[in-house]
Amino acid sequence: MIQNSNTTSLKKLNNEALIRKKSIEISRSKPVVTVKHNRRYTTDQLQKALTAIKFGMPIAKASRAYNIPASTIRDHMKGNKRRVGRPSELTRAEQNVISDTFSQILSWGYELDYFEIRKIIKNYLDMNGKTVERFRNNYPGRDFVTSFMTRNNLRNRQAKNTLPSRPTRKMKAIKLAIDKECEYISDFYLRLEAVGDIERENLFNFGEIIIPIDPNMREVIYYRGTRKIELVRDHIKNSTHVSVMVCGSATGEWLPPFVCYKSPHLCPSWTLGGPLGTIYSNTELGWFNMNTFQQWFECILLAYTKDRPGKKLVIGDSISSHFSPHLVQLARQNSVCFAYLSRKAFNLKQPLDHIFKSCETAWKAILSKYLKETHQGNSTIMVHFPKLLNDLWNQLNPDMANFLINGFKATGLYPRNSNAPLQLLHSEI
């Protein structure tokens, strides 16, 4: 019995020794991890500690009394507030300007996403002649945008993709579409009420017309059974377009157009013979961007409205990335507010919609007549485009004022009537 008890005790001692040995080996193989503790004091505690030190309390005693590291107290007494992490590529003043621009754009009803935020920051840096080596082509990365939003109290949420809420024939879909449409329309008119009362001559609607230089397909006569129908034009090489920004007021007044060519350069011959007061510019893709939109705002809209008293309300469906911080600042200085016509609401029309249709029909006839008479390609049509645009302007001019006044009335913008879009909605059901 004595021998059995000794053997069992030896086995227990050997097992405990093996366990200790394995635990020591495992602890040696694991890396040492240092846990970083967040600060355990509040700003009020820090202020109380600094006040107590001013009245003679030692730093060590204040550190123990308020549970604040002594090094932190010394740094605050010397004014050395160390910041953790990499310094921002933008100064605090630049961040405030950009953040203020985003806040104003969102208050006008426009929507922003990561790409549009990156584009606005890139254009702001380009316009101020600043190049950030960390940004590729001056485009900030997604991480920078995320940290910028955190610092400036901006949040992002997942948006649900929806189509324009045109009612369908199914009863359930009709009810759902009507509810969504009414919500979008009510939000738009709530933004208009927040702006306040606007005089009739200070209410504007702007829009971008895409004018094709090549005529579209037109109807021709052919034998029944013909499979391939073509209209041969040897002088048409490729399809191009010209963007024209137009703007009009609720009184029927039309501002001069702003022409944007698709070209890396602007030839002087492309600016002769157009409508009176027309401004010309160019971009590589032929679309309006932040620079050209700002030129239109300064040279056309502000030039004709800056001396008018009262607020000005400008309604349109331009994208949010067109607004630069400089444009937002000019708009505030001149009491100009923008209102976004959301594309989610199908029946929320703008007064220029009826004029766009008339413009498209008239332009096809003018361009076809020009190509038949001159037999020239689109390499020379840019020289004659201002004159063709002048012909289009003169052809539509007699009816443009009435079209514009009736358009503001039909859409419920002036006189303000929020039931007008709803009446159009119920008439389509």
Asked if residue 167 has pLDDT above 60, the reply is no
Q: Which among 325, 225, 241, 344 has a CA at the least distance from the CA of 283?
A: 241
Share of the chain above pLDDT 70, in %: 73
Residue range 277-331, pLDDT digits in tens: 999 999 998 889 999 999 999 999 999 998 999 999 999 876 788 899 999 999 9
Percentage of residues in the chain with pLDDT exceeding 90? 33
- Cα 183 from Cα 163, distance rounded (Å): 15
CB under 8 Å to 155, separation ≥6 — which residues? 149
Of 49-58, 96-105, 212-221, 293-302, which gets the smallest average pLDDT? 212-221
Give 388-427 pLDDT, tens digit per residue: 999 999 998 888 899 899 989 988 899 888 887 767 655 5
Maximum mean pLDDT: which of 21-35, 137-151, 325-339, 354-368: 325-339
312 phi, psi to nearest 5 deg: -120, 130
d(CA 192, CA 298): 23
Residue at 260: amino acid letter: C
Q: What is the pLDDT of residues 222-260, one digit of tens each?
A: 556 666 555 555 444 444 789 999 999 999 999 999 999
Report the mean per-residue pLDDT for the chain. 80
DSSP 39: P
- Residue 375, phi-psi category: left (phi > 0), alpha (psi -120 to 50), beta (remainder): left
Give the global pTM. Answer: 0.71
Question: Which residues, in sequence order, are bridge partners of residue 16?
Answer: none
Give the distance, in angstroms, between the CA of residue 101 and the centroid of all CA atoms in the same chain.
10
Provide the token pair at 280. Answer: 């010309």
Mean pLDDT of 95-112: 89
